[in-house]
Amino acid sequence: MEENRSLVGQEEAQTEQVDYSQLDSMEDLLEQENVDIEFPRQGEIRKGVIVGLNGDEVLISIGTKSEGVLVSREWDRIPEEERATFVEGAEIPVFVVRPEDQNGNVVLSYLRAREEEDWTWVESLRDSGEIYEGAIAGYNKGGLLVPMRTLRGFVPASQVSVLRRSKATGDTPEERWSQMVGEPIQVVVVEVDRNRRRLILSERAALKETREVLKDRLLDDLEVGDIRTGRVTSLADFGAFVNIDGADGLVHISEISWERINHPKEMLKIGQEVEVKVISVDKERRRIGLSIRQLQEDPWVRKVKQLRVGQLVTGVVTHLTKFGAFARIEGDEDLEGLIHISELSENRIAHPKEVVQEGDELTLRIIKIDIDRRRIGLSVRKVDSAAYADLDWKMDLAGEVTELEQPKDTAPAEEEAPTEEASAEAPAEEVTAEETPAEEAPVVEEPIQEEEPPAEESTDEPAAEEPQPEGEEAAA
């Protein structure tokens, strides 16, 4: 009996002497037994294989001892076209919601996995600045909503393009944005915040990037003189930007209209389609100069065609400068000419104010019409010049004949007008101070030589060329 007890004690002692330090961790033991198991962690995304479908229950193997199952009620939330791909053996991404539930199963989510992958995707778009092309799916009071896969991005009103905003009319968000739902849109990702589920997009930044690329291409194709159709994208104090073929060019305020305007909004509005002429292309500075007015008839030229060199007109002095006086020709407020200081008086004067004042009404003679530079030269000194006496007589005679010929069906006296007066009508329209018929040359040319002042007071064309302030030169 005692011997048996001693044998049992020896066996127990041998059991207690086992070296537990040689034992490895559970993972090592599993590896020794060739068991390939990676324990899942909450929040981890894995690739799973569908191993069973039972109604709305989906069994998925992710390499653990037991299969994982999709969270309850997720099956109905998965888009129908995606559910159609769920067959046994199909591989899908899954998000580990819980490593083990009360039944020992791993709880998984397909939609959360897709969403996490999409957050990673939009972060890459933000870092690269890549443009995303989508469609407007909705709106709220602050802007537009654009879906990006399973996520929904927000385009604030300040980041909507100027052209699209110009179409938004109304006082409520419904009136402003509802008509845009379904329209295509290009955006870039400007902010991503997973924790706050915040995804901010910008159409303005996307269009800027697009315009830069298109502008480079357009600069290579454009030539001065080209005529294009574009759309006004924005207005500034100095001009209007017009988009042609995806890139913006500038129409300076001076090139919008032949009339003087204070702001482009007087003639244009955002979104308006206009025809423009290319007047400059600067590839180094990447600038395109456009003009609207050069495609329109210059009203100044049309009006000045009714005038003749040597003609007498009435003018009102509008302002004085040290080199002369500007006068508005009676009958048209847009026609203004310069009376050079040398043409104001026969005597030498130091300043025009010595002989004229603003508001004075004068009889003037047109001595120069420069259509290219839009200038009219006027003279007080040559109003009574003998050099123009013959021209004045012929123009008066032509005027009388014109008056007689107007009512042709009335008085017989009009039909019996002297032939010599009628014959004088044709040359009267063509004769100018510079184009007098040869047989009358002594009458016109000799007095001009007598009345010409010394060289330093020359009344020829250079008189109007003296330096003058830029604003006043344009007014001339």
165 with 302, same domain: the answer is: no
Question: 420 near 397, Cβ under 8 Å?
Answer: no
Over residues 327-343, the mean pLDDT reads 86
Q: How far apart are CA 351 and CA 62, in angstroms?
A: 100
327 with 431, same domain: the answer is: yes
Asked if residue 280 is part of any domain, the answer here is: yes
Return the structure tokens found at 23: 């034992």
Q: What is residue 451's DSSP assignment?
A: H
Q: How far apart are CA 433 and CA 444, in angstroms?
A: 8
310 with 285, same domain: the answer is: no
466 with 357, same domain: the answer is: yes
Q: Which of 207, 233, 258 is the last residue of a domain?
A: 207
Q: Report the C-alpha dihedral over residues 427, 430, 433, 437, rounded to 10 degrees.
A: -40
94 with 237, same domain: the answer is: no
Q: How far apart are CA 433 and CA 382, in angstroms?
A: 11
325 with 427, same domain: the answer is: yes
Asked if residue 118 is part of any domain, the answer here is: no
Q: How far apart are CA 377 and CA 340, in angstroms?
A: 8
Q: How far apart are CA 425 and CA 418, in angstroms?
A: 12
341 with 440, same domain: the answer is: yes
Could you tell me the pLDDT band of residue 423, with boundaries at 50, 70 and 90? Answer: very low
User: What is the extent of the structural domain holding 203?
Assistant: 129-207
CA distances 240 to 219, 243, 256, 372, Å, are: 19, 10, 8, 26
SS3 389: helix
Backbone angle region of 55, left / alpha / beta, with phi > 0 → left and psi within -120 to 50 → alpha:
left
How many domains does the structure of the chain reveal?
4
Name the phi and psi angles at 352, rounded to 5: -55, -30
Q: Which of 154, 174, 207 is the last residue of a domain?
A: 207
SS3 55: coil
According to the model, what pLDDT value does residue 134 have? 94
Return the structure tokens found at 373: 């530079």
Asked if residue 435 is part of any domain, the answer here is: yes
Average pLDDT, the chain: 76
According to the model, what pLDDT value does residue 164 have? 83
Asked if residue 10 is part of any domain, the answer here is: no
Q: Which of 158, 177, 207 is the last residue of a domain?
A: 207
Asked if residue 97 is part of any domain, the answer here is: yes
- The pTM score is 0.45
Asked if residue 124 is part of any domain, the answer here is: no
User: Which of the two residues, 455 and 251, has the higher pLDDT score?
Assistant: 251
CATH number, domain of 388, equals: 2.40.50.140
Per residue in 400-417, pLDDT tens? 544 445 554 444 433 333
Question: 355 near 345, Cβ under 8 Å?
Answer: yes
- Scan for tokens 């010599």, then name that residue: 420
Q: Are strands 247-252 and 287-291 parallel, antiparallel or unpaired?
A: parallel
107 with 139, same domain: the answer is: no
269 with 324, same domain: the answer is: no
Per residue in 446-467, pLDDT tens? 333 333 343 334 334 434 344 3
pLDDT at 426 over 50: no
How far is residue 194 CA from its own chain's centroid?
35
Over residues 117-138, the mean pLDDT reads 94
Per residue in 134-148, pLDDT tens? 999 999 988 999 999
Name the phi and psi angles at 135, rounded to 5: -140, 150
Over residues 99-123, the mean pLDDT reads 88
CA distances 400 to 383, 384, 426, 430, 434, Å, are: 21, 21, 13, 16, 23
Question: 366 near 385, Cβ under 8 Å?
Answer: no
pLDDT at 264 over 70: yes
Strands (E), 211-286: 227-236, 239-244, 247-252, 273-282
According to the model, what pLDDT value does residue 227 have? 92
**Beta bridge partner(s), residue 119:** none
According to the model, what pLDDT value does residue 447 have? 37
According to the model, what pLDDT value does residue 243 have? 86
Q: How far apart are CA 148 and CA 137, in angstroms?
A: 10
Q: How far apart are CA 224 and CA 354, in angstroms?
A: 48
Could you tell me the pLDDT band of residue 182, with boundaries at 50, 70 and 90? Answer: very high
232 with 369, same domain: the answer is: no
436 with 329, same domain: the answer is: yes
Asked if residue 40 is part of any domain, the answer here is: no
Question: 276 near 292, Cβ under 8 Å?
Answer: yes
Question: 215 near 247, Cβ under 8 Å?
Answer: yes
According to the model, what pLDDT value does residue 420 have? 38
According to the model, what pLDDT value does residue 37 have? 55
Instruction: Tell me the DSSP string of 152-187.
Output: EEEEEGGGS-HHHHHT--SSSHHHHHGGGTT-EEEE
Q: How far apart are CA 219 and CA 415, in angstroms?
A: 65
| CA angle 192–213–143, rounded 5-degree value | 40
According to the model, what pLDDT value does residue 392 have? 64
CA distances 280 to 226, 250, 288, 289, 374, Å, are: 10, 10, 6, 5, 21
Return the structure tokens found at 121: 């995707």
186 with 321, same domain: the answer is: no
